[in-house]
Structure 1
Amino acid sequence: MASPRLETFCCPNRDAATEFVINFQPVFFGAICIGSAGLSLIFSVLQILPKRRAYRRLGQYPLPKPASSSRILFIISVCDILGCAGIIVRSSIWLGLPNLISKISVASDTDLWPEAFCVGSAMWIQLFFSASFWWTFCYAVDVFLVVKRSAGISTIVLYHMITWGLAILLCVEGVAMLYYPSISNCEEGLQHAIPHYVTTYAPMVLVLVVNPVLFSRTVSAVTSLLKGRQGIYTENERRLGTEIKIRFFKIMLVFFICWLPNIINETLLFYLEMQPDVRASSLKNIRNTALITWFIMGILNPMQAFLNTLAFHGWTGFDVDLSLERRRELAWDSASTSIPAAGGYNPVVGSTLLYQSHVQEAKKNATANGQQHSDAISVLSEGNGLRQDDTNSPVYQGW
């Protein structure tokens, strides 16, 4: 799971609320984390691997260059997978070497390895899940700008600078404030811990609050584009708009399910910290609720990796194609032909995606057919698994 409480646990003089939740059934909790993260990692990797059936459908057509939105979705999956890997390693060490973990609580111990592992594993998990949050935010910004500007491919380099720069900066700053003046002698009280919690939850809250607004405005803009294309709103265009709306809804639903328990749990633990006695009988219900949400976090936080791939691409199946020669052949065809692709399969993402071959080519075709915004619609429809007959709609002309 990804919680700032795990970084707080690395301090020997940790607060009573953190001590309470982390020391409650640690073996069972570690096993849950390993099981959830392991399943999520396996199925996520399976989801993004190339599939044979997609190559069969592709046939002799070349591979187009993926739009920025498809790259962002793939990067989000990679960040989630790396976060799951960190959870598996950390929980495995906690279960396999309990003596190493118990030394973290000893303030006078001179062995730095327990604390180094505790801090390193916690920062690894926080960094990649925080990067996942920033990339999710950038995805919402990207699709909104594509529709508003009708610019087929946005600047992916700028997104890399924003996401990784902010993720690393906030992670380092929060941890530095938490472990001041040293890991073995952290300052006590909430004042030094609050910056760490803010830097951890800021990108999460940003996605929860801003992304629904951006997605809603994007859907409204798409609907206007579809209606204004020829002055009519056909069944195919209505279906495309509905599928785009459902896709955005699934992305936000996964995010809310996986991370809302963290906010609830943190609120309860902060309330417990402010009480003179965490184990008072009057706080029993709050303690039980905090423990329940703590275990829910251990299950749902790692599952974001797999659930995100379902929201992005749907279930892509088990028919994995690991043939390097086949993919080289397709890549060679893509590099050696000048015919623009009408659609293709991205072997990185691992699902049947609909791309336009080039922004300028799409704009020329769109202009010839009286359709100025085909590039924007095609970017949003990536990975939706649209049926072949949908491509007969005027929406898809000029791809």
Structure 2
Amino acid sequence: MVNVLAVLGLLVRSIVWLDRAFPNTKKKCMDANHYFCLISNVWILYFFTCNHFWHLVYAVEAYMVSNNKEMNTGMKVFVGWFIPLFMAGAAAVVVYYQGFNSCFSLSLTRSSIVYILFLSPVVMVMLINPVIFYQAGKSAKRALIWHYGRYTSSERKLVDAIHTKFYLILIIYFICWIPNLVNAGLWLRYESSRTSFIPDEKSILALFILMAVTNPLQAVLAALVFWGLPNTNRLRLNIFHRSEAHYNNSSGSSIINRSGLSGISTGSESEPLLSYRTKTTF
């Protein structure tokens, strides 16, 4: 959901600015274009930041479920909604505290702060989530062995399905957000040394187009991983469905997707490692 709202903000802002409805930086009084610039920028920053923090929440909760624990709902709401709100508010203050006419004209210092506030969650997810996913996979494997006293092909297929889902989540995230890190690095280097470094205009344009495609595309690709392809009212990727169905039909019920691992009935957070459909909002 947060991805959809962020992309919707990008789409509306792009349509308005294609009509050249830019705010006049020379005006001392606010007009509709200034208000739109402020609201749209904060909207986009907030919901994209929520997207990054919900990825972190997903990883932490997957790890906790694999260890027979449950993440507090209040903590999820705080991390997923309120921390991004604080960061978006801080970015708005940095940009507009000297006046609302600075929607486009930012100094190097203020631009750097905004880039840090926007991209630090991206770097955090790229560094932390792989470690958490790795530990969650190991914990799920240990839980299966401890519960059944065995590790046969059935358990192995379920663990492989969990690992595959984690890999897909990380690959999609890296592909969709690395262009933003590259763009930030190039732009900040250009602003700090305009005379010694002038990037190629075609390369910058290609990078902008790549970001315009990959950032919204993450919403689609992440939905396919988290929810799967629609198929007779069962929303999950076939590889996960087959692995889970095979294991549930084997000699023992799945400790991961049933109440044995998380202590909650099937269909809620008792199955976050495979389908993860209900409580975590993206």
TM bracket, shorter-chain basis: 0.7 to 0.9
Using structure 1 for the length normalisation, give the TM-score: 0.59
Paired residue for 1:272, among 163, 166, 190? Answer: 190
Q: Percentage identity across aligned positions?
A: 25
**Is there any run of 5+ residues in structure 1 with no aligned partner, and where?**
1-77, 320-344, 354-382
Using structure 2 for the length normalisation, give the TM-score: 0.81
Residue 303 of structure 1: CA displacement? 0.9
Residue 206 of structure 1: CA displacement? 1.0
Q: Secondary structure at the match of 2:230?
A: coil
1:5-36 per-position Cα deviation (integer Å, ceiling 9, x unaligned): xxxxxxxxxxxxxxxxxxxxxxxxxxxxxxxx
Query: Which residue of structure 1 lines up, in the alignment, with residue 241 of structure 2?
Result: 385
Measured in 2, the distance between the counterparts of 1:205 and 1:88 equals 25
Answer whether contact 2:9 2:44 (CA < 8 A) is retained. Answer: yes
Q: Secondary structure at the match of 1:351?
A: coil
1:70-92 per-position Cα deviation (integer Å, ceiling 9, x unaligned): xxxxxxxx111111211121112
1:39-66 per-position Cα deviation (integer Å, ceiling 9, x unaligned): xxxxxxxxxxxxxxxxxxxxxxxxxxxx
Measured in 2, the distance between the counterparts of 1:145 and 1:352 equals 22
Q: Cα gap change, 1:391/1:288 in structure 2, threshold over 3 Å: closer, same or farther?
A: same
Query: Which residue of structure 2 lines up, in the alignment, with residue 308 of structure 1?
Result: 222
Measured in 1, the distance between the counterparts of 2:246 and 2:193 equals 63
Please identify, of 384-393 and 137-146, the stretch whose mean Cα deviation from structure 2 is larger. Answer: 384-393
Answer whether contact 2:46 2:88 (CA < 8 A) is retained. Answer: yes
Residue 384 of structure 1: CA displacement? 2.9
User: Is residue 2:79 matched to residue 1:162?
Assistant: yes
Q: Cα gap change, 1:284/1:251 in structure 2, threshold over 3 Å: closer, same or farther?
A: closer
Instruction: Report which of the two structures shows the higher radius of gyration computed on alpha carbons.
Output: 1
Measured in 2, the distance between the counterparts of 1:388 and 1:142 equals 23
Query: Which residue of structure 2 lines up, in the alignment, with residue 339 of structure 1?
Result: none
One-letter identity of the residue aligned with 1:283: I
Q: Secondary structure at the match of 2:220?
A: helix
Query: Which residue of structure 2 lines up, in the alignment, with residue 82 of structure 1?
Result: 5
Alignment of 1:34-183 (within 5 A): 78-95=1-18, 97-98=19-20, 100-101=21-22, 104-108=23-27, 110-148=29-67, 150-151=68-69, 153-183=70-100
Answer whether contact 1:226 1:395 (CA < 8 A) is retained. Answer: no
Please identify, of 260-269 and 118-127, the stretch whose mean Cα deviation from structure 2 is larger. Answer: 118-127
4+ runs of 1 displaced by more than 6 Å?
none
Measured in 1, the distance between the counterparts of 2:119 and 2:39 equals 19
Query: Which residue of structure 2 lines up, in the alignment, with residue 299 of structure 1?
Result: 213
Alignment of 1:278-297 (within 5 A): 283-285=198-200, 287-297=201-211
One-letter identity of the residue aligned with 2:86: L
Q: Cα gap change, 1:161/1:106 in structure 2, threshold over 3 Å: closer, same or farther?
A: closer
Q: Secondary structure at the match of 1:191?
A: helix
Answer whether contact 2:24 2:101 (CA < 8 A) is retained. Answer: no
Residue 111 of structure 1: CA displacement? 4.9
Measured in 2, the distance between the counterparts of 1:185 and 1:140 equals 37
Measured in 2, the distance between the counterparts of 1:195 and 1:352 equals 39
Answer whether contact 1:130 1:203 (CA < 8 A) is retained. Answer: yes
Query: Which residue of structure 2 lines up, in the alignment, with residue 70 of structure 1?
Result: none
1:237-268 per-position Cα deviation (integer Å, ceiling 9, x unaligned): 00000000000111111111110100001101
Answer whether contact 2:108 2:192 (CA < 8 A) is retained. Answer: no
